[in-house]
Chain A
Amino acid sequence: MRMSDFVVRDAIVADLKANTKEGVIREMVESLRNAGYFKGGEMEDIVKAILKRELLGSTGIGRGVAIPHSKHSTVDRLIGTVGISRQGVAFDSLDGEPVHVFVLLISPQDRPGDHLRALENVSRCLRDDGFVRSLRQATSREAIWGLLDDAEHHP
């Protein structure tokens, strides 16, 4: 399961405007909605679910990356998006540093395997400092998509 298999290309945010935790999550979920997901009032519910998950422990795992996520009944397959913040956002990260690279994941209610495989894939990519650096330097959705599509990471 490569990142380009579940990241919604049209929902990639190359230049996040928000500068708060909730703001970033909202901006990214909104981007998925604009790309055709979560018609109706589900967006709020999903933002709430992701924020609730953050309360259990920040997904800002250090090195300027965060992987906010939740499961939700309205998706029938795992989807995600990538957002890059130039200025960095305080996210209660493990190392206290602001986050620049966000990978947001929403998985179906009862597919733990999908969630874990996506996390595995995302984390393999984000372990690569060069990959993270390239993402931060990318200035467009197309450039980010190109990086995700090319990413090939071995165990």
Chain B
Amino acid sequence: MNGEPLRSKVVLQNVLGMHMRPARWFVELVSKFKSSVSVCKGDREPVDGRSILSLISLGAEQGTELILEVSGPDQQEAMNALVELVANFIKEDEDEEWSPPSLTSGGS
């Protein structure tokens, strides 16, 4: 079950790409898991999936392909959740106040 990290490609479909809100949703979701997560754009250095600033610094716009790499005890669960979240970014294009349901509870 452990050993090889998981890697998946995701494409940003929403108009604003990885701007601050999606970056924050991403980081909040990653924090629910034990596994480490890194995000890679093109041939750049991978960035830490727990850092909003790092994610935003990718400047990943609509249409950008990112590689997610997840490694740890709950890596499959984490990867599934993250891939689903990224696919849902497009919902903010329909409703600019949309937020992922599981992240709206609790504090900041």
Task: Please list the residues of chain A having a beta carbon within 8 angstroms of any beta carbon in chain B.
Answer: 56-63, 65, 67, 69, 92-94, 96, 112-113, 115-117, 119-120, 123-124, 126-127, 155
A63's nearest neighbour on chain B, judged by CB, is B53
Residues 50-108 (chain B) with a chain A CB within 8 angstroms: 51-54, 56-59, 61-62, 97, 99, 108
**B54 close to A116 (CB less than 8 A):** no
Q: Are A96 and B20 in touch, CB under 8 angstroms?
A: no
Return the contact of B59 from the options A56, A93, A116 (Cβ within 8 A): A116
- A112 proximity list for chain B (CB < 8 A): 15-17, 61-62
Query: How far does the alpha carbon of A30 sit from the alpha carbon of B56 in the complex, in Å?
Result: 27
CB-based contact B21/A123 at 8 Å: no
A57 and B97 CA atoms in complex are apart in Å by 10
Whether the pair A115, B99 counts as a contact (CB closer than 8 A) is: no
- Additional A-B contacts beyond A61-B52, A94-B27 (9; CB < 8 A): A59-B20, A61-B53, A62-B52, A94-B108, A96-B108, A112-B15, A116-B19, A119-B20, A120-B58
**B residues contacting the other copy or chain, number (CB 8 A):** 24
Counting residue pairs across A and B whose Cβ atoms lie within 8 Å, the total is 62
Indicate the member of B16, B17, B57 with the most A CB atoms within 10 Å: B57
Could you say which residues of chain B place their CB within 8 Å of the CB of A115?
16, 19
How far does the Cβ of B91 sit from chain A's closest Cβ, in whole Å?
13
User: Is the Cβ of B57 less than 8 Å from the Cβ of A117?
Assistant: no
Assuming the contacts A57-B24, A119-B20, A155-B44, asked whether A94 and B59 have C-beta atoms less than 8 A apart, the reply is no
